[in-house]
Amino acid sequence: MASALVLLAEGFEEIEAVTIVDVLRRAGVTVTVAGLAPGPVRGAHDIVVASDTTLDAVAGESFDAVVLPGGGPGTQRLREDSRVLELARRSASAGKLVAAICAAPTVLDAAGVLRDKTATSYPGCPLPSARFVEERVVEDGNVVTSRGPGTAIDFALALVARLVSSEAAAEHRKRLLA
């Protein structure tokens, strides 16, 4: 069974985070939600989510995917955290799936993961090391990026296709009426 680590920082975009976790779990992916610090994490729109654990507690574990929800303040916190940048680098170098949505692709850019990759992000969130395109979901090798809250289901289903199968993604797309 595939595994994914979803990181939450204060100020994360709730629609993206919950959609990613929900869709991946529906498809049978083992999802671990890790906060940067212990305790519940408050989203950008004042919704509080309980994480399963902390980033420090899972630092030595291996996941098939590392997924970063966006949200302006949350993304800034992820980008400023050396543990997150190192995790993104290490996962990408190991050929693991590294995925980010909304403003969070800027974290991958800061980590050097987007160098020579085609990627997308929320409007106004520059990705200087990538070839930027305005598409809902962009897959380039082991990197998957997406635009924002309105693309969260498509993004999560792209992850299902990569972690489980394209058939599972198609079946869940149908069930979700997406």
Would you name the residues annotated as active-site residues? 102
Percent of residues in the chain assigned helix, strand, coil, to nearest 5: 40, 20, 40
Rounded distance, CA 46 to CA 42, Å? Answer: 6
- What is the DSSP annotation of 33-67? EEESSSS-EE-TTS-EE--SEETGGGTT---SEEE
Q: Which two tokens stand for residue 37?
A: 């610090």
Please list, in sequence order, all residues whose beta carbon lies within 8 angstroms of the beta carbon of residue 72, skipping any fewer than 6 positions away: 11, 44, 103
